[in-house]
Chains A and B, each alone.
Chain A
């Protein structure tokens, strides 16, 4: 398989396997280039912009200058490709928009920049799938997201890399007054290394956010995640939830930090880790920082193994050991993320089912 169209076909098939229905509305960036893009025509008519990032810089210079690289440092000329998604004021886009970032050639270094803007009162759901068709490649991404006053954005991201792939990702999010940002991230790959930093700035009062991370480490993966939330607006609130599952000789390290400066803010960090291999390693660092005398910040963290008595209980109900382990892992992976649209709920559950059965 050598030409791009064959690889695109393979990428679309792989995307469907993890529930990304790109043909219904979405894009595929293969290596350095955007090779496929589709958006419902009625959405275009309603003012939704969905374009390749360089094209966006040329076609929509005002919007680009207003939002691009304001939170993160970067230069669009040093970027291979990326997606610009713009949802105009007051518009609700019910169907998810699927973005696939695919590494299709060995030694390729894919540099991506995505810009997502939700104007005041708008709503949208973005689903990203990042995966590889080959080994020995690198994915590097920057993403900026702006959620306007009263707007709501749900982002679901699934990482499914091969063992010799390195990944570096930085995401920065700004949430306006009464804005709502929901983020569900799942990694079920054996990537050599992932470094993923997320910053959420809740500048608007009464803004809310929730970021769930479900991370599976297998083989010799080294996975590092850092999530920081800044509760700047009064009465803003955030929850950071993570489930870390380390198998084989993998290593998972997470940092979760909430800094509260607004009045009457609320933040909660919940981190649970499960180690399934003698060489597996998990470390988690929750940090709460209050700069306001009425902030309410809490955290809970635990790391453990599957309990013998739970296993024996399920075995006594007729499940052999492997089934019982999968069931317990599946239960462990449940974070209670409730903002999943029905169109992709089944896909996410299917990914989690696969993850609970995987070996490492």
Chain B
């Protein structure tokens, strides 16, 4: 049978029954509807707010904030936009430490759940099943109650003289810059680049010749060697500063607020319980043949995990783990309850002090959207790098 082109043309249905036209039309209608709805809501809100005399622009961002923020140099006379940035910084402080913490802990617990050791696996299961089934706000409030039990600042604990711990703040030793610190940090940055170069070189050489790469040893020794020599040459550019309690003030070291520690611990533990489940599932999703093959090669149980199972499980686990990272960042807004000045707390304070709520909330949403998109971007990049390449 050969089709006649002319007949094909004439048998096309009229456009109101043409599926392709209808589909396109439906999409146009949907988008137009969404835009209509959005414009309608926006118009409504604006008109109603203006009718009761509430401003609808973003000019309030330039006005003075009027309040102070704990553990920051923020002055009440600085504008509202600055205080929101302080909040963003505090949220970032939670994310930057919390995400690595919850990852490490989640992986450990996930692996432990599959341990042949009865006690280890039951302990991990109990942990996961308890924390996973409690609302994160409760976890935070519970942790807060525990942290409040720490000694008051007047009788703060100072273990080994290296820490100052009270229910107000927790201080740890930190690096203090001396003279020549700038040069030293630059040298260290250069050395780090060099160490990475050595790492790559050793890996390539090993890939080419098959000899052991010892890349950790090589680059590690190089880095430490240069660091020590430069330290001696520059005559103590940096020093360790111990925190010390003077009256109500802690000097030296690095101070973190107790409510920061509360949120960090509570949310890391909570989110880690979800990550642990993902890790466990991913390990079990690795084909059984892989384990058997590893056994056939006489790999030990650690080698089997490190070189065969975890690399494959990691590929499966990464996309769902991104969600947990995003959840972590979004849940930091619960710090509002215990007064840690992350961005939600700050924005609500801003609203409470006579600034318009709708615009402030839009800003807040934009902040979380940015956080989420940046995290997704980074992890998706890693994900693309480690996926199987199918030719």
**Do chains A and B interact in one complex?**
no
